Amino acid sequence: MLVLRPIRESDFPALLNIAHESGHGFTSLPVHEELLQNKIARSMASFEKEADHPHDEGYLFVLEDTETGDVVGTSAIEAAVGLDDAFYHYHLSKVIHSSRTLNVYKAVDILTLCNDYTGATELCTLFLRPQFRQKYNGKLLSKARFMFIKQHQERFADTVIAEMRGVSDEHGNSPFWKWLEEHFFSMDFPTADYLTGIGQKVFIAELMPKYPIYVNLLSKEAQAVVGEVHDNTRPAIELLKSEGFTFNGYVDIFDANSTVEAQVENIRTLRESQVKIVKIGNNQGGSPYMVANDKLVDYRAAVVELSVDAGSNELVISQAVADALLVKEGDSLTIATI
């Protein structure tokens, strides 16, 4: 069984391997041993911290194969972005150039640097090893975070965002960054992306163009990727769209990928989930459900095939499932269709 749980110190070697495997463009997981160790320590402190509002907490989860003990994926939640370090985006909007005298009317797209998502909760650091990208594993890795937010909503903002990975080639070269590099910077995309990942963001404020950028002045290659996502990211953005996330014109400042957002109350999994009381017994199985306990440090979530009685507040699960989810009879579980 694959079970999502909070990361712990012993997961460092697995997290380092995932950082190597994830490749260029995965800003939130840099290949930097000290920073990865700090991420683990920060996450553990966040899970243990008492909090009644979102601040600088970061919750890092891993997906573990309980039969082998192997960590096969990771995902995370940032409680509130931009409170300590500026959180930049470009906002894609339009300006109108018109002249009645000349009978000219032209709508032009522009990119404006902004910090509009300051304080929002961010879904981030989602990576599943390729050999496990099957059945419901990716959905569990992503959507179990919604269950965690529902159960501990005081720890998170009303607005939830997710930055998608933008278009780049196998060497990490981004068409959008290539244009920025040519005119404003003297470093390649992987270097800029890495510096951001390790928290060295001051160069953004120092070198990024301060005035709106006219999209039609970009190279044709750069124009073509504004608001687009990497091929490997398409399943992730489609999943988020099915949950109610929308693109409202915000793109990444490095590769112009799209950032999607949703209000917590509009996320489908949160709206449709149910709370059930555990009863240990023999469940013959039926449909796949995502099942999560309501714990914090000991949070667990998994996908289990269950027969669910919609008219009952009880959920019958096997002892093996109860052990995997760290619950006993009489405890509560949140379930949602996967």
Q: What string of DSSP letters covers 200-258?
A: --HHHHHHS--SPEEGGGS-HHHHHHTT---GGGHHHHHHHHHTT-EEEEEE-TTT--E
Q: Residue 329: what pLDDT?
A: 95
Helices (H) and strands (E) in the chain, counts: 10, 15
Low-confidence ranges of the chain (pLDDT < 50): none
Q: Residue 202: what pLDDT?
A: 67
Per-residue tokens: 3: 């079970």
Q: In this structure, which long-range contacts are made by residues 103-109, counting pairs with CB atoms below 8 Å and at least 24 apart in sequence?
A: 108/214, 108/215, 108/216, 109/214, 109/215, 109/216, 109/226
First CA to last CA distance, the chain: 16
Map tokens 């196998």 to a residue: 170
Catalytic residue among 24, 89, 152, 230: 230
Q: What string of DSSP letters covers 16-47?
A: HHHHHHH-TT-TTS-S-HHHHHHHHHHHHHHH
Q: Considering the entire predicted model, what is its pTM? A: 0.91
Q: Residue 96: what pLDDT?
A: 95
Q: pLDDT, tens digit, for every residue of 261-315?
A: 999 999 999 999 999 999 999 988 789 999 999 999 999 999 999 999 888 999 9
Q: Residue 31: what pLDDT?
A: 82
Q: Write out the H or E segment, with its range, that includes residue 287.
A: strand 287-293
Q: Is 230 a catalytic residue?
A: yes
Could you give the 3-state DSSP secondary structure of residue 312? coil
Q: Are 1 and 299 in contact (CB under 8 A)?
A: no
Domains plus CATH for the chain?
Answer: 2-89+115-269 (3.40.630.30), 273-337 (2.40.40.20)
Residues ≥6 apart with Cβ < 8 Å to 175: 167, 219, 221, 222, 224, 225
